[in-house]
Amino acid sequence: MIEGQRVLFLMAVEDEYGPHLQQRFTPALIGVGPVEAAIATSLILYRMYQDDALPDLLT
């Protein structure tokens, strides 16, 4: 949560998630390719929808 907003952080791979970012948030890792990332993101959002926990912002 950032200022009352649910934020979902998405990143391709763990390599781009260094120690400075690790202190701030935990991202969902969605993969490198566009198809892989789209499928992973869709699945994450669907599961969040089922839990009535959709984010207000994707980044």
The one-digit pLDDT tens for each residue of the chain (59 residues) are: 788 999 999 999 998 888 999 999 999 999 999 999 999 999 999 999 999 999 999 98
Half-sphere exposure for 45 (CA within 13 Å, toward CB) = 15
Query: Identity (one letter) of the amino acid at 27?
Result: P
Token pair for 3? 């200022």
For residue 2, being part of any structural domain is answered with: no
Give pLDDT, residue 50.
Answer: 98
For residue 1, being part of any structural domain is answered with: no
Provide the domain count of the chain: 1
For residue 48, being part of any structural domain is answered with: yes
Give pLDDT, residue 18.
Answer: 87
**Model pTM score:** 0.84
Q: How many CB atoms lie within 10 A of CB 7?
A: 13
Q: Can you point out the beta strands (E) in the chain?
A: 7-8, 10-11, 28-29, 57-58
Give pLDDT, residue 17.
Answer: 83
User: 45 is in which domain, residue-wise?
Assistant: 7-58
For residue 24, being part of any structural domain is answered with: yes
